[in-house]
Structure 1
């Protein structure tokens, strides 16, 4: 048994080291040669602007996501509204829309030559210089677009937190004649602070790592700085230094979020019988609440998806090409490979933790999950750096033995992009399988060991049948995330290789959104699957 445990310990440790290697490579690459002059030049010229834009972008997206997400969550959890069963999951749908796609559509609508300004000029007979209209391709436009697609993180977690709050507290508030507004500010909002903090931290990490939206809106952030330094200047080490700055931002953000909740210990009973205690909105309050919720869904999801469907129908013949079919197959190949590998990794680290449940096993799990907090552009730098180190080691070793070095056998290949997807999204699979394994009673492990089952047999005969659904969901989630990943795919794709995400980005960047509509619709429909799963799980729990 001890030998078997050593096998699982070695496997889990090797997996954790492999997944954390790109993050270490970022800092190692940052101290490479020929970076000081370029990096100093960037710091003295454009980097202050990039840093300011990044901070302003994150702050703006956090504020607007808070304004959009928290009231919507409270209305769905605490009020009775017509069509609420549809609204409670419809408010999550914008999460399926990639930010850069919404950005392209909004630009198409609100630019000078777009239908909104054309209608305004037709109605008023104004000329171009006789009126002011906000420019969508600005920092404010990027903040608005990203907030519309990211607020569901706050909405989902806050809605769950509001539904879990102790019903006796709400009863007491009503007995004390508290209005719904007072109850929200004095009871519901303070109790939901941990959920709000977690939701905002997810929003902030997504905003920091966004590339497609900010680059299209010509907003220079640290993410675009990494891309420009790598591709424009051809300097990987300088790009790694900028990536290190971004990692520090992410670490500070997560540390601040945890530190702010260090002394919070909230124990609540299940929010049972909530049907009897929700507020019945009537009159203008009901219509205001419905207008708020349905307006948010329409602006962030229904109208953009409708526009994409119109484009896809009109330009079907131009879109349905051999290239599109090939790139769809490429996306399937990469995503399936990443999903299978990520699920295998999750099984290894989770099962070792199941066997030992000590700090070492827990550390392996946490290290294996670190990649999810790293923006895709930054991770691409780390993957390239780690691949280069391995290639140099192998080539030097073979050359020393008198053989012919294979050259670049990892960089610029399918391995690089799949490896990046696995490092970034293994945390999703690890979390899903960890949740499934936690529901398996330890007594089953004891019974299996009593019957002489070794760890390998116990995993195959006992655990896998019981966590099969969790493993399938884990693979599905990794598959969908990999299908939509743009940043890492843009930087690591092999020559003449495109995924659906890069295909859409390239067409839309060239102002040919119509030809990108069909793959964009496909990406959105694929992205709806995890939202349906999440909403069903919430309904089952509550």
Structure 2
């Protein structure tokens, strides 16, 4: 009798996975069904620039985030120096600031008309500061901005991996003649390599998804090209072809990340656990560690947040009725998307728990996980193609001329679900690891049915993971720009869109209040992630670790 409900849950999970895959399938179909030589024209003109800029961003951001994230994680995990306790959580602060917000702040500060350049001109003379002063609105500027914002992905996963290691492992290498630093380099880092690779892959996926920063700095990438072709030219075919190229780019990135790990897998074979030793740093070594940790915090959070705060105080009139209406729109979108992702992610996680051996369901959950790897602009194109087709079919049947699906909030919620459902699924799945089959057996012995077991046992134990999933999705939707910009209904704006529009018009002081509000909301998950890293230990799963598990699953 239990087989039928299990099959129903498995079928439900597969339907959700198919819905997530539809936008990607629509992009592929539209790209291959196209006629004409638009892509050939791009290949002869601007496509090499798109590919080149995207490659340089991947290489620069990848190298920068790995160096900064692993170095900072190593210092705060394995060394003792003044301020280490503060740096443990402060190094996560840049994660609260979207890359496009940092780009707007840097443009206002370091542009030719900004206060930094003006101060240099006054100090060095009119021409002295011009010859060598770098242009922040450039490819290298975009790489710097994305690096200082995205390195926390590598930092938090690398530090969690370091904290999960035991000194017992390193003691074996010491008996083989390695020095403390040698054993850390030859043993500690390889053990953390899977987590480092996942963090770097997440950072690069976010870099490929970025639209606001590269657009503001005038750097042509695949995402800016997709938006330009879709919005300015109204060419769905060209946008789909570019989106397909970007999907292939992301797939190549994921393949490289997995190939770099190969079949390597590391696990604890003993329950003996003692924390790794902390090496005392003194003198210039301690000063160097403090400097290494301070620079990314200053560049990624303190400097842009201070600039936004000053500009906000300079324009108090920006907090008008329209600002609060935009804030309400952002809250409606973010809260609705969070609820949808938690419901659907929880349903898939529950289906996976009830049908552990269902290969089709496992494959479907893997398809759901692809959503976070696909840039928002690509998902927006796919959603518009799918819903636009349904609208045309409905209009042909009814004789109307409406865009009920593609022109309303449903399109946005669909896109958010496709992109952020993996985060909710990962968080809820990590919570289910605490619910053992014996607990379900005990519930059945007490006379509870499946619904009673879920209400009395599962729901209380999953509460923390569900709240974590909802919070992470809420903040990500608040910050999301390309999908919202491309799919929003007519005359429907959010804080992110209004901030982008003000910055595009070079009204950075008017953009500051909305940007600062987005940063304030982003601080909350930073606190949550900091607690998660601090509590990470081998063999333990707690409510706080759901945030890290969600990112690993995504």
TM range (shorter): over 0.9
| Corresponding position of 1:23 | 24
Structure-2 separation of matches of 1:391 and 1:270: 59
| Corresponding position of 1:80 | 80
Aligned residues of 2:308 and 2:515 also touching (Cα < 8 A): yes
> How has the CA–CA distance of structure 1 residues 149 and 130 changed in structure 2, closer, same or farther, with 3 Å as cutoff?
closer
Task: Give RMSD over aligned pairs.
Answer: 2.1
Residues 406-448 of structure 1: CA deviation (Å, up to 9, x unaligned):
6321112111111111111111111111111111111122233
| Structure 1 position 3, deviation (Å) | 3.5
Q: Which sits farther off after the overlay, 98-107 or 406-415?
A: 406-415
TM-score (norm 2): 0.92
2:471 to 470, 476, 481: 476
| Corresponding position of 1:332 | 331
Residues 162-212 of structure 1: CA deviation (Å, up to 9, x unaligned):
222331344466678866654543333333222221111111111111111
Aligned residues of 2:159 and 2:533 also touching (Cα < 8 A): no
Aligned residues of 1:79 and 1:278 also touching (Cα < 8 A): yes
Q: How does 1:112-123 map to 2 (within 5 A)?
A: 112-123=112-123
TM-score (norm 1): 0.94
> How has the CA–CA distance of structure 1 residues 175 and 450 changed in structure 2, closer, same or farther, with 3 Å as cutoff?
closer
| Structure 1 position 489, deviation (Å) | 0.4
Q: How does 1:305-384 map to 2 (within 5 A)?
A: 305-317=305-317, 319-358=318-357, 359-384=359-384
| Corresponding position of 2:275 | 274
Aligned residues of 1:165 and 1:270 also touching (Cα < 8 A): no
> How has the CA–CA distance of structure 1 residues 79 and 495 changed in structure 2, closer, same or farther, with 3 Å as cutoff?
same
Structure-2 separation of matches of 1:509 and 1:178: 56
Structure-2 separation of matches of 1:93 and 1:130: 33
| Corresponding position of 2:408 | 413
Q: Secondary structure at the match of 2:489?
A: coil
| Corresponding position of 1:293 | 293
| Structure 1 position 454, deviation (Å) | 3.8
Residues 126-183 of structure 1: CA deviation (Å, up to 9, x unaligned):
5268631111111111001100000111111111222223313444666788666545
| Corresponding position of 1:9 | 10
> How has the CA–CA distance of structure 1 residues 87 and 271 changed in structure 2, closer, same or farther, with 3 Å as cutoff?
farther
Structure-2 separation of matches of 1:109 and 1:181: 41
Aligned residues of 1:380 and 1:420 also touching (Cα < 8 A): yes
| Structure 1 position 451, deviation (Å) | 4.9
Structure-2 separation of matches of 1:192 and 1:455: 39
Q: Which sits farther off after the overlay, 293-302 or 89-98?
A: 293-302
| Structure 1 position 271, deviation (Å) | 9.3
Instruction: Provide the aligned length of Structure 1 versus Structure 2.
Output: 534
Structure-2 separation of matches of 1:120 and 1:254: 44
Structure-1 separation of matches of 2:382 and 2:65: 30
Aligned residues of 1:139 and 1:219 also touching (Cα < 8 A): yes
| Corresponding position of 1:389 | 389
Structure-1 separation of matches of 2:360 and 2:536: 32
Residues 294-324 of structure 1: CA deviation (Å, up to 9, x unaligned):
122112111211111111111112x111111
Aligned residues of 2:168 and 2:273 also touching (Cα < 8 A): no
| Corresponding position of 1:256 | 256
| Structure 1 position 47, deviation (Å) | 0.7
> How has the CA–CA distance of structure 1 residues 129 and 102 changed in structure 2, closer, same or farther, with 3 Å as cutoff?
closer
| Structure 1 position 527, deviation (Å) | 0.9
Structure-2 separation of matches of 1:341 and 1:105: 33
Q: Which sits farther off after the overlay, 477-486 or 176-185?
A: 176-185
Structure-2 separation of matches of 1:497 and 1:57: 32
Structure-1 separation of matches of 2:74 and 2:464: 31
| Structure 1 position 273, deviation (Å) | 4.2
Aligned residues of 2:247 and 2:374 also touching (Cα < 8 A): yes
1:432 to 427, 434, 439: 427
Structure-1 separation of matches of 2:505 and 2:480: 20
| Structure 1 position 262, deviation (Å) | 2.1
1:503 to 498, 511, 524: 498
Structure-2 separation of matches of 1:68 and 1:326: 39
1:448 to 443, 449, 457: 443
> How has the CA–CA distance of structure 1 residues 129 and 85 changed in structure 2, closer, same or farther, with 3 Å as cutoff?
closer
Structure-2 separation of matches of 1:38 and 1:484: 32
Q: Secondary structure at the match of 1:274?
A: coil
Aligned residues of 1:163 and 1:271 also touching (Cα < 8 A): no
Structure-2 separation of matches of 1:270 and 1:316: 58
Q: Name stretches of at least 5 consecutive residues in structure 1 with no aligned partner.
A: none
Structure-1 separation of matches of 2:481 and 2:141: 20
Aligned residues of 2:383 and 2:411 also touching (Cα < 8 A): yes
The answer on 1:43 being equivalent to 2:38 is no
| Corresponding position of 2:544 | none
Q: How does 1:96-107 map to 2 (within 5 A)?
A: 96-107=96-107
Q: How does 1:179-190 map to 2 (within 5 A)?
A: 182-190=182-190
Aligned residues of 1:180 and 1:279 also touching (Cα < 8 A): no
| Structure 1 position 2, deviation (Å) | 3.5
Structure-2 separation of matches of 1:467 and 1:81: 38
> How has the CA–CA distance of structure 1 residues 535 and 130 changed in structure 2, closer, same or farther, with 3 Å as cutoff?
closer
| Structure 1 position 367, deviation (Å) | 2.3
Structure-2 separation of matches of 1:509 and 1:92: 28
Structure-2 separation of matches of 1:57 and 1:322: 39
Aligned residues of 1:4 and 1:455 also touching (Cα < 8 A): no
